[in-house]
Amino acid sequence: MRLIFLVSVCLSGLSIAVSTISLTGNGYTDVLVTVADDIAENTQLISILQDWLIEASRKLYIASKYRFFFEKVIIRIPEAWSNNGQYIVTSASTNREGDIRIENPIQDVRSNPYACCLPACGVGGQYIHFTTDVMFKGENAGFGNLATVLVHEWGHYRWGLFDEYPTSRDTYTREIIRFYSHNGRWEPVRCTTEIFGTIFNYVSNRNCRLDSRGKPESDCIFRPEYGVKATAIASMMGSAYIKSISQFCDSNSTDERTKHNSEAPNKHNDKCSGQSSWDIIKQHNDYKATSPGSPFANTRPQIILQQTQIIGRFCLLVDVSGSMQNFIGDAKDALTTVIKTIIPNESYVGIASFNDNGQLLKRMTKITSESDRNSLAYNLPTTTDGSTSIGAGIETCYQELLTLHNVTGSVIYLATDGKENKSPYIEEVLPNLTGKGIVLHTLAIGSSADEKLNNISKMTGGSSYFYSTNTVNSTSLVDALMEPFTDSSKDKIIRIKTLHTKILTQQVFETNFVIDDTIGKDTIVQLTTHVVRDVNLTIKHSEMTFAKIGTAGDNGVIYIKIPGIAQIGKYDIFLSSTTHDISGTLSIFSKAVSAKQAVLQVNVLNTEPEIQYSAVLRFPLYAAVYKGSMPVINAAVKAVIENEIGDSSTIILKDNAIGANVSLNDGIYSCYILPNELSANGRLSIKVITEGYSAKVVVPVTRSPGTNFTDDFKDQPIGPFMRVALAREITVKDYKLLDKNIDLISPSPILTLQLSNISNEDNTYTMTWYAVGDDLDKGNATGYDIRYSDKFQKLKTDPEHQQTIHAGIIPKEPGETESFVFRIPNIQTNTTYYIAVRAVDDQNNTGDLSNIISVSILNDQYWFEDEKKKTTNGLSIAFVAGISIGTVIIVFIFLVCFITLIKKRKVPRMSNYAV
């Protein structure tokens, strides 16, 4: 597989924290801007950020037609900066990472602002990245007005919009597609068509020519008017660097200046099936929850400057009602593991339980020693009895947390298997938690746990997890109890592997794990099991052996901590017992080698808490595998899904631009979970496992003048790695809707259709695309239905009744490249023909229409004229597109440099890179 394009590129970022932005009225509150810890103290940066956010809030309000602005923004200042009272000091139990992250530039990596990791159209990204050098330079950084750029990134991050400037790449040449065929001309990719500018070869500084494939040569660009003379007002996702830009494109606009250009082959059109940015925003919950405000509303955000100390304050709350009888032992072992190895030193931990009433079992205790941990573990409950008053338990934790001075940001982790049946009820005590900013995480144990858990966690900004007690060999109890604590220090716990083991007496169980070059600090291998005595846990790595034999004094967990920084490589684990059978969960985790290290991580991206299948609804799952800022490709990624009735299934996630996956090789791996892969409604727990043996990272290459323009990225092999991540609980409804009959499922739409070759002599065209499957992305399809029309809308809305081109292609395996040469019968000059393709399956179900490409007979003399005739000097003779813009922010940077260099009569080749 080769790199085709990147949606956006991730820099640094240790984890994907749960964003707690909320929308009250028209205002976004609790938008978190983080200033990276390694940024040198500089108060000027903070005032630049404040002015920037105030300006961006106004621009966002205008661009969103008076719907959205920033109402409350928190800027988190590094702890090392001196504080003379100008920053509010707060403490938090978990390290929530910023929505907007300000970071130092990285040497040899371009400082483009970007929004990281966009899984699909309408699904938001993970965070927004800006660098300090860009913030200090402001408009001179070459990206245009930075407040406008922030609105652009917000479009990616919040609403899942894609770029409208040319970033889509040709499947074969990897060159960026900058033009499309329209009415005999090559039109620049742009939204809207009401943007004026110049088409020219920026390397030769002359008019553009056609290349051997009949398309504009790769150095041919469109330079829009972007300065004070610019008149274009849209679009935000396309031309944010043009001074006059203030609006998103809208399909329904009656004003040509904001009218969406659905013909342009850009990522937004490809992935959002030709819909405009505004169409996508209108489908977002934010839009549905608001109505436009007054144009004169005050949009100035309240900006809070905070210094945050990460000091965990956790109350572990365990259900000890009668029904917990069968699970209390396992819960105790898993919580013992959490207390002994996961929660960092200096954290405060308390333990409470509930049945008819709440009981405080251990007061909030600061962990400073091994004996603090032992004494906490000793107080975990072991007996069960009585009814279930969840509210009473929460109240007990709440009152105990109040004894600490800092309450906001403390955490209650509730584990329960039942429904509340005695007051006080959750509803009664919840206002106390939300009022004090206490976060409630929940673990639903088994199929009878209260349905409300998911929702109440969400209301407090917490997460919910699920452990299916019916699933054989499940690791999810230990996984889920560890999960909320993995980011309770500045250096997050990175999980390498978890697996369940069952070993008979005297047998030796063997497994292994790998340490890659990004992790190795505080590496722990542990077995959570009921009887630890006589368990022999041995680890071997080259000449080294680490061993631990359980004793009668050990409880619930046995572990080995590898001293110092664990060496890179493979480690073998041997597990045995001479006296009894072992059944338990082996878990292996570590931390970043250093704070500066770009860590390899897998993160499960935005998933809906509830999936209700319908005839049209698909259930996509996305995981991002990144090493710092760089997408990891060729990784093996799978999801293990466990449901309430104890069934488990495994699904492969792919990064192949078909099915649920919208971009090839961008480090985002996806799959659909089809109803036939499930066997029950209700809660699911999903564990994502990734391993890399032939994996590579995609490294952005900073090119110096004269190097190969097409070489924007380079694949670089990386060593083997293993990672595991847990998704939050998902509840499934109506899985039976399709009656498990996958015959009804049609192929996925093709999102990768492109025109790859044109013969202007005989008007034959070659189109290529990636094959999709018989059922979405699985199995070979049966055929293709190719349609064309000279009316874009007709093709889009009524493909059935448009002309066909009989191709007779036998579809290849999903993901393989299909190529087809065609000719339009009776092709007319001055007409544009639109072409799309759909895959057809063995039941004659047709997939949704692909992205649409256009062809026309080239009759624009500009592209044929002899170079010498038209060239006088430089830009002056280049073709002026009456209407156009498209090349975005990147091109702008290049242009700034370009124009400067032209004055020196030297033309550089500059990088061209997605923002």
Ligand X SMILES: *[C@@H]1O[C@H](CO)[C@@H](O)[C@H](O)[C@H]1NC(C)=O
What's the closest the beta carbon of residue 132 comes to ligand X, in angstroms?
Answer: 26
Q: Which of 29, 432, 757, 764 binds ligand X (CB under 6 A)?
A: 432
Phi and psi for 860 in degrees, rounded to 5? Answer: -85, 115
What's the closest the beta carbon of residue 215 comes to ligand X, in angstroms?
Answer: 15
Stretch of 185-193, 298-306, 758-766, 809-817 contacting ligand X, by CB under 6 A: 809-817
Strands 721-726 and 773-775: unpaired
What's the closest the beta carbon of residue 815 comes to ligand X, in angstroms?
Answer: 9
Decide: 331 and 324 in contact? Cβ < 8 Å: yes
What's the closest the beta carbon of residue 599 comes to ligand X, in angstroms?
Answer: 26
Decide: 692 and 632 in contact? Cβ < 8 Å: yes
Structure tokens at 131: 């660098």
Decide: 334 and 383 in contact? Cβ < 8 Å: no
Q: Which of 99, 219, 279, 420 binds ligand X (CB under 6 A)?
A: 279
CA dihedral 418, 420, 422, 423 (to 10 degrees): 150
427 binds ligand X (CB under 6 A): no
Q: Which residue, 42 or 252, has its beta carbon nearer to ligand X?
A: 252
Q: Which residue, 18 or 404, has its beta carbon nearer to ligand X?
A: 404
Structure tokens at 776: 């979405």
Q: Which residue, 40 or 508, has its beta carbon nearer to ligand X?
A: 508
Q: Which residue, 28 or 348, has its beta carbon nearer to ligand X?
A: 348
Site for ligand X, residues 667 to 726, rule: CB under 6 A: 708, 710-711
Binding mask 384-423 for ligand X (x = CB under 6 A): -----------x--------xxx-----------------
Q: What DSSP designation does 858 have?
A: -
Stretch of 100-108, 162-170, 658-666, 811-819 contacting ligand X, by CB under 6 A: 811-819
What's the closest the beta carbon of residue 812 comes to ligand X, in angstroms?
Answer: 3
Stretch of 101-109, 425-433, 588-596, 900-908 contacting ligand X, by CB under 6 A: 425-433
What are the DSSP calls for 673-710, one per residue?
Answer: --GGG---SEEEEEEEEEEESS-EEEEEPPPPTTS-TT
Residues in the chain: 915
Decide: 737 and 611 in contact? Cβ < 8 Å: no
Q: What DSSP designation does 341 have?
A: I
Tell me the β-bridge partners of 187.
Answer: 180
What's the closest the beta carbon of residue 424 comes to ligand X, in angstroms?
Answer: 5
Instruction: Please state the separation of Cα 414 from the chain's center in Å.
Output: 28
d(CA 669, CA 489): 28
Q: Which residue, 251 or 679, has its beta carbon nearer to ligand X?
A: 251
Q: Which residue, 131 or 780, has its beta carbon nearer to ligand X?
A: 780
- Position closest to ligand X via CB: 812
Nearest alpha carbon to residue 205 among 913, 914, 903: 903
Decide: 372 and 333 in contact? Cβ < 8 Å: no
What's the closest the beta carbon of residue 402 comes to ligand X, in angstroms?
Answer: 6
What's the closest the beta carbon of residue 455 comes to ligand X, in angstroms?
Answer: 18
Strand residue runs (E) in 84-174: 88-92, 100-103, 114-116, 127-131
Q: Which of 429, 588, 611, 664 binds ligand X (CB under 6 A)?
A: 429
Binding mask 533-552 for ligand X (x = CB under 6 A): ---x-x--------x-x---
Q: Which residue, 293 or 393, has its beta carbon nearer to ligand X?
A: 393
Q: Which of 309, 421, 506, 579 binds ligand X (CB under 6 A)?
A: 309
What's the closest the beta carbon of residue 396 comes to ligand X, in angstroms?
Answer: 10
Q: Which residue, 187 or 395, has its beta carbon nearer to ligand X?
A: 395
d(CA 534, CA 552): 8
Q: Which residue, 15 or 91, has its beta carbon nearer to ligand X?
A: 91
d(CA 295, CA 69): 12
251 binds ligand X (CB under 6 A): yes
Stretch of 22-30, 351-359, 652-660, 810-818 contacting ligand X, by CB under 6 A: 810-818
Q: What DSSP designation does 311 have?
A: -
Cα distances from 742 to residues 650, 659, 845, in angstroms, run 17, 15, 11
Decide: 702 and 649 in contact? Cβ < 8 Å: no
Q: Which residue, 610 or 816, has its beta carbon nearer to ligand X?
A: 816
Q: Which residue, 153 or 450, has its beta carbon nearer to ligand X?
A: 450
Stretch of 240-248, 376-384, 428-436, 437-445 contacting ligand X, by CB under 6 A: 428-436
Binding mask 490-519 for ligand X (x = CB under 6 A): -----------xx-----x-----------
Decide: 450 and 444 in contact? Cβ < 8 Å: yes
813 binds ligand X (CB under 6 A): yes
Instruction: Please state the separation of Cα 80 from the chain's center in Å.
Output: 30
Q: Which residue, 851 or 871, has its beta carbon nearer to ligand X?
A: 851
Q: Which of 88, 89, 504, 617 binds ligand X (CB under 6 A)?
A: 89
574 binds ligand X (CB under 6 A): yes
Q: Which of 38, 428, 608, 867 binds ligand X (CB under 6 A)?
A: 428
Neighbours of 301 (CB within 10 A): 21
Neighbours of 490 (CB within 10 A): 15
Query: How many positions of this chain bind ligand X (CB under 6 A)?
Result: 32
821 binds ligand X (CB under 6 A): no
Binding mask 56-75 for ligand X (x = CB under 6 A): --------------------
Q: Which residue, 255 or 608, has its beta carbon nearer to ligand X?
A: 255
Q: What DSSP designation does 599 have?
A: -
Structure tokens at 356: 């008819």
Strand residue runs (E) in 749-832: 754-759, 764-770, 773-775, 778-780, 783-789, 803-805, 817-823
d(CA 233, CA 225): 12
In the block, residue with structure tokens 């065209």:
765
Nearest-5° angle of CA 540, CA 542, CA 543?
Answer: 85
What's the closest the beta carbon of residue 312 comes to ligand X, in angstroms?
Answer: 11
> Hey, is 869 helix, strand or coil?
helix
Task: Compute the Cα dihedral for 74, 77, 79, 84 and give only its sign.
Answer: negative
The answer to whether the peptide bond before residue 262 is cis (omega within 30 degrees of 0) is: no
Binding mask 579-618 for ligand X (x = CB under 6 A): ----------------------------------------
What's the closest the beta carbon of residue 861 comes to ligand X, in angstroms?
Answer: 30
Decide: 305 and 883 in contact? Cβ < 8 Å: no
Nearest alpha carbon to residue 466 among 441, 488, 485: 441
Instruction: Please state the separation of Cα 596 from the chain's center in Å.
Output: 22
| Helices (runs of H) and strands (runs of E) counted in the chain | 15, 50
What's the closest the beta carbon of residue 307 comes to ligand X, in angstroms?
Answer: 8
Q: Which of 780, 789, 802, 871 binds ligand X (CB under 6 A)?
A: 780
Q: Which of 424, 609, 719, 720 binds ligand X (CB under 6 A)?
A: 424
Structure tokens at 529: 């099991």
What's the closest the beta carbon of residue 510 comes to ligand X, in angstroms?
Answer: 8
Q: Which residue, 40 or 547, has its beta carbon nearer to ligand X?
A: 547
Phi and psi for 715 in degrees, rounded to 5? Answer: -85, 130
Q: Which residue, 55 or 279, has its beta carbon nearer to ligand X?
A: 279
Q: Which residue, 300 or 909, has its beta carbon nearer to ligand X?
A: 909
812 binds ligand X (CB under 6 A): yes
Interface contacts to ligand X, rule CB under 6 A: 89, 91, 251-252, 279, 309, 395, 404-406, 424, 428-429, 432, 472-473, 501-502, 508, 536, 538, 547, 549, 574, 576, 708, 710-711, 780, 812-813, 816
